[in-house]
Chain A
Amino acid sequence: MSDIYATLQEIVGKDYVSNQAEERYFYGRDPGLMPPHEPDYVVMPRTTEEVQEIIRLANKEKVAVVPKGAGLSLTGLVIPQIGGIVMDMKRMEGIEVNEAGRYVIVEGGVTHAALKSHLQKNYPHLRHSIPDSPPIATIVANAVIHGQGRLTQQRGFNSDMVSGLEVVLPTGEVCRIGSCAVSSYWFSKGPPMPDLSGLFLGWFGTTGVITRLGMKLYPCKKMRDVMLYITDRAELIPDIIRKLSHTEMMEDIVVSCAPLPLRFKGVFNMLVYITGDSEEELEFKRKMAWDALREYFESRDGGFMGVSPYMKPSLLAMPSKDTTRFADVSKGGGFEYSGPIAPIEKYPQYVKKLEELASKYNLFYSSAARVIDGGHSMMFSFSYTFNRADPDTMNRAKTALDEAAEFALDEGGVIWKPNLNEQRMVMERMDPNTLKLLGKIKQLLDPNGIMNPGNWEAK
């Protein structure tokens, strides 16, 4: 038995560490297209102190550490590129709500499902921004990759809703970030002080392990409804989004397109979500949405469709099960998307490219674009499905996604949760001084380069 393994057992207890082939196999891959690479150890800490000890051990032994939530970001961000330790955060599942302050402090492994049910049971008038990833996705990791959820149209990226952090730095110190650094309240991740949360959010675990995170909660209205708007003109979509977001009344706006099922063919479906405390409030918002788009109704370029009340539960579900269903459309469980964060005005160009690449590489495609922060940008997904048992489709999907990423960057977007190759593309285009700053920060925080090596390596 190696010293590292024995020490890990001492830190977390023997049930929560493994170097067995089964675990190494499982923790060496994710559901996306990046090649697998196995870790040497998998460890599941329960406390911040245990995380600290593991990090200290890793520094001493110069082994890599990769924090992992549910491993669902799809772009290989939790694949240990040089082996080492995968730190599975799932045992850190504490939830503490400050009802009056409308925020929650979650430990590093709390899932969206766990928080959702905790709030529904104990604080039904509060909610958080739920992404459409499968429910086991973790809140911390989702913020770490700047995820987006149901409240993103109104409130920005899920990481914009963070209200404080507790981080174990790569050198082992525990640091509090935001108001919680000076107060017992977790109401702000930075302001009115320098906002240091930016040293950790978006870094894919390369600058430390977040052990606790404050997340803002928002009023949970008594009712929700969904409207379905259809147009067949991609070039109108930016203006339609502008008009809808101008009302400042929509909870969420998601535009999708796919060649199948047949009702999707040749049209763009926009799901427009609204909330209210009364039927009158909902009705008013429905009317605002109709009025906003009257011009296109009259020109016959678009219109609202009736939504069967039997379809609504699945459309209103959080997370939406449809994305996950789509993920297995080719059977064999392969699905990955390149999701640039992009100017909304580029929607038509992106759609054209999505279809072009699908036909060039003979792939089934879909796209869902979520409006971010009242219409300042969108997440546009180039999604392709593949069968894991068929290396040829996997290759084609990978090439298509690489081209999509290249294209997205050329067209003014920035790649969201980029894989290693895409990180390279982003860094190649980055302002050189910014890139240098990135490197300096990383070097300063992680002098031994142990944290999730390979990612954001500014050479």
Chain B
Amino acid sequence: MLELKFDKTKCADCKAVSCLVKCQYMHFDRDTARTEWQKVVNGEDSQVLHDCATCYSCEEYCPFGNHPFYLIVERQEEKGILPAPRPITTMWINQCQPIGRFTVGKVEEKAMSFCFLPQFGILAGGKLFEDIAWSSIFGQEFFCNAVYLHFARMSVIRDRLPKVIENIAKQGIKELVCLHDECYGTFTSLAPAYGIELPFKPVHYYEHLYDKLKELKDEIQPLNVKVAYFRNCSARLIPETDHFVDDIFGLIGVDRVQREYDHENALCCAELIRVSKGPEMADDVQKRNLDDMLKAGAEYCVFNCPGCWDSMVEKVVKTGIKPIHMIDLCKLAIGEEQALTPPEPALEV
């Protein structure tokens, strides 16, 4: 049985309790944070287990890499606490069940994973993917399963992740460019936290984009636009990739606006907050984020995760800011077109 590598002593010695003190959704002073966190560590019931918005951020806040969020998820499951309604949890578990239905391209040692997100089929084209486009995998069998962190179902991840890794390895893949950064987070944060070894090397697609843009340097026309960067929950598992955002923006002449809710202080898309905590909190989070982008003078809102895109795209459009996925932003800079576009308003009357 896979077990979380968690070191109690690190938390016992921790003065800052940043995991809870920095939390954007639960508000604790340091003393209460310490008390509540110790309850979590000791396997007792705590307000944290009930109020956690499952934004993953404490994984980034913990200076010791001690996986506070994974511990919260473990404890929630042990205690039968449901962050989201039970049927929605069931629906998620069922819909991504591996059932032997997947799509693989002409897979080579270096391949791309579209996870289980069809949007990547739309995005991953053009010159940025010209030397890898055919080498792709997609489907439940390759789905990273990290989403179950939102549903207190670490057991599902523990159960499915080793098989997912095996499925990827079986394709003969040695290097996997993860287009969903949740996959990259799963392979480089979650898997090691449970002692799962990887028989291939995961590569974040930002690194791929950065390398390709350098190759295509002569074709880049600086975009000279101000953008708000939309950080997603899984970025909290892999903060070490955040520098690529600035590196890429530097190459394509994009100004990442200074705003309150970016970097460590980012707000999530709140769609799972809507599902688990209700619309009031979700609306508030989304509104604050959008107001902040407007205030900072952003012309574009740049997305990393298709899930955030789906939940925010229409709201972003309404503010007058243009939504765009990071891949598409890079495409614009080399004279290609935006592939993933906002939906037409669905008004069938």
Contact = CB atoms under 8 A, between A and B. Distances in A.
A286 B279 contact: yes
B3 interface: no
A263 interface: yes
A348 interface: no
A312 to B, nearest CB: 4
B94 A266 contact: yes
Interface in B272-299: 274-275, 278-279
A290 B279 CA distance: 8
Given A230-B87, A263-B94, A287-B279, A308 B310 contact: yes
Nearest to A116: B349
A244 B220 CA distance: 54
Contacts of B99: 262
Given A231-B85, A316-B347, 7 more contacts: A230-B88, A232-B86, A262-B94, A300-B86, A303-B88, A306-B274, A309-B314
Nearest to B318: A279
Given A261-B95, A263-B95, A266-B94, A316 B279 contact: no
Nearest to B313: A309
B344 A301 contact: no
A199 to B, nearest CB: 34
Contacts of A287: 279
Interface in A246-283: 261-263, 265-268, 275
B232 to A, nearest CB: 15
Contact of B348 (A124, A265, A313): A313
Interface of B: 82, 84-88, 90-91, 94-95, 97, 99, 271, 274-275, 278-279, 310-311, 313-314, 342-344, 346-349
Contacts of A266: 87, 90-91, 94
22 contacts: A127-B349, A221-B349, A224-B347, A232-B86, A232-B90, A233-B87, A262-B95, A262-B97, A265-B94, A266-B94, A290-B278, A297-B85, A301-B85, A303-B88, A303-B275, A306-B310, A308-B310, A309-B314, A313-B343, A313-B344, A313-B348, A316-B347
Contacts of B86: 232, 300-301
A223 interface: yes
A317 B348 contact: yes
A275 B344 CA distance: 17
A302 B276 CA distance: 10
Contacts of B85: 230-231, 296-297, 300-303
A316 B88 contact: no
Among A267, A287, A318, chain B packs the most CB atoms within 10 A around the CB of A267
A221 B86 CA distance: 35
B308 to A, nearest CB: 11
Interface string A290-325: 100010110011111110111011011110000000
Interface of A: 120, 124, 127, 220-225, 230-233, 261-263, 265-268, 275, 286-287, 290, 294, 296-297, 300-306, 308-310, 312-313, 315-318
Nearest to B342: A309
A287 B347 CA distance: 20
B286 to A, nearest CB: 12
A222 B313 CA distance: 21
Nearest to A268: B87
A249 to B, nearest CB: 16
Nearest to B101: A262
A267 B87 contact: yes
A292 to B, nearest CB: 13
A265 B310 CA distance: 24
A232 B86 CA distance: 8
Contacts of B279: 286-287, 290
Contact of B349 (A220, A268, A312): A220
A159 to B, nearest CB: 23
B346 A313 contact: yes
Specify which of B87, B274, B311 lies most central, judged by the most chain A CB atoms within 10 Å of its CB.
B87
Given A290-B278, A297-B278, A300-B85, A306 B348 contact: no
